[in-house]
Amino acid sequence: MTLHAAATSAPGAEASGFLGIAPADRVDRRRAAWVALALVLAFAAAAPFASVVLPAVPTFVPAYDAAVLVLASIAALMLHAQYRDLHQRGFLWLACGYLFSALFALLHGLSFPDAFVSGSLFGGTQTTVWLWIVWHGATPLFVVAYALAGTARGRNGAWPLHRIAYPAVVLSAVLVATAMVYWDAHLPRLLVNAQHRSDSARVIGTVVWTVHVFAIALLIWRTRLRRLLDLWLCVSLLAALIELALSGMMISARYQLGFYIGRVYGLIGTLVMLALLLRHSVLLQARLVRAASALHDSERRYRDLFDSMGEAFYIGEAVTDRDGLVVDLQFLQENPMARRYIGRDIAGRRLSQVMPDFDREWLSIVDEVIRTGRERSLERPSPRMQRYFRYRVFRLKGRQKHVGILFQDIKPRRDAEMALRDSEERFRQFGQAASSVLWVRNAETLEMEYASAAFESISGRRCDEVVGKGFEAWLDMVHPDDREAVRRAIRRVQQGERVEQEYRIVHGETGGELWLLGTEFPMRDDDCRINRIGGIAQDATLLKKAQFRLSESEERLRSAIEVGRLATWDWNLTTGEVAWSDEHYRIEGYFPGEVVPSYEAWISRVHPDDRDAAEAAVRQAMLTGGEYAREVRFLHPDGSVHWANARGRFFYDAAGRPVRMVGSMIDTTLRREFEDAQRVLVAELQHRTRNLIAVVRSISDRTLRESADMTQFATVFSERLGSLARVQGLLSRLKEGQRVTFDELLRMELAAHLDPNDGSRFALSGPDGVTLRSSSVQPLALAIHELITNALKYGALRDPAGCLRIRWNVVDEDGRPWLHVDWRETGVLHPIAGDVPPGGGAGRELIERALPYQFGARTTYELTDTGVHCTIAMPISRRESPSPHGHDTRL
Indicate the domain borders of the chain.
11-286, 309-409, 415-546, 564-667, 675-875
Give pLDDT tens digits for 608-617.
Answer: 998 899 899 9
Say what the pLDDT of residue 886 is: 44
CATH superfamily of the domain spanning 309-409: PAS domain (3.30.450.20)
For the domain 415-546, what is the CATH code? Answer: 3.30.450.20
Say what the pLDDT of residue 172 is: 86
Q: In what order do the strands lie in the sheet with 448-451?
A: 448-451, 437-442, 530-539, 513-524, 499-506
Alpha-carbon gap, residue 335 to 348, rounded angstroms: 13
Q: Is the pLDDT of residue 316 over 90?
A: no
Share of the chain above pLDDT 90, in %: 8
- Do the Cβ atoms of 873 and 858 come closer than 8 Å? yes
3-state SS assignment for residue 46? helix
Contacts 24+ apart (CB under 8 A), 70-75: 71/2, 71/270, 71/271, 71/273, 71/274, 72/2, 72/3, 72/98, 72/99, 72/101, 72/102, 72/105, 72/270, 73/98, 73/99, 73/102, 74/274, 74/277, 75/3, 75/270, 75/273, 75/274, 75/277
Range ranked top by mean pLDDT from 1-15, 134-148, 194-208, 788-802: 134-148
| Alpha helix segments (H runs only) across 254-407 | 257-308, 336-342, 351-354, 361-372
Mean pLDDT of the chain: 80
Say what the pLDDT of residue 484 is: 92
Q: Is the pLDDT of residue 266 over 80?
A: no
Alpha-carbon gap, residue 2 to 244, rounded angstroms: 11
Q: Is the pLDDT of residue 564 over 70?
A: no
* Residue with the larger pLDDT of the pair 160 and 797: 797
- Do the Cβ atoms of 652 and 658 come closer than 8 Å? yes
CB contact set of 394 (below 8 Å; sequence gap of 6+): 369, 375, 376, 403, 404, 406
Say what the pLDDT of residue 821 is: 92
| Average pLDDT rounded to a whole number, residues 295-312 | 71
522 pLDDT band, cuts 50/70/90, is: very high
β-pairing, 437-442 vs 530-539, is: antiparallel
The architecture of the domain spanning 564-667 is 2-Layer Sandwich (3.30)
3-state SS assignment for residue 875? strand
Say what the pLDDT of residue 498 is: 92
> What amino acid occupies position 839?
G
Alpha-carbon gap, residue 416 to 410, rounded angstroms: 10
Give pLDDT tens digits for 696-707.
Answer: 776 676 667 667
Distance in Å from the first CA to the final CA of the chain: 158
CATH superfamily of the domain spanning 675-875: Histidine kinase-like ATPase, C-terminal domain (3.30.565.10)
Q: In what order do the strands lie in the sheet with 816-826?
A: 762-765, 803-813, 816-826, 868-875, 858-863
Distances (CA, A) of 852 to 234, 494, 847: 150, 101, 8
Give pLDDT tens digits for 421-458.
Answer: 777 777 676 666 667 888 899 988 889 888 888 888 88
Give pLDDT tens digits for 73-105.
Answer: 888 888 887 788 777 888 888 888 888 888 888
Q: Is the pLDDT of residue 742 over 80?
A: yes
- 564-667 has the same fold as 309-409: yes
Quickly count: other Cβ atoms within 10 Å of residue 563's Cβ: 8
Q: In what order do the strands lie in the sheet with 566-572?
A: 578-580, 566-572, 658-667, 641-652, 628-635
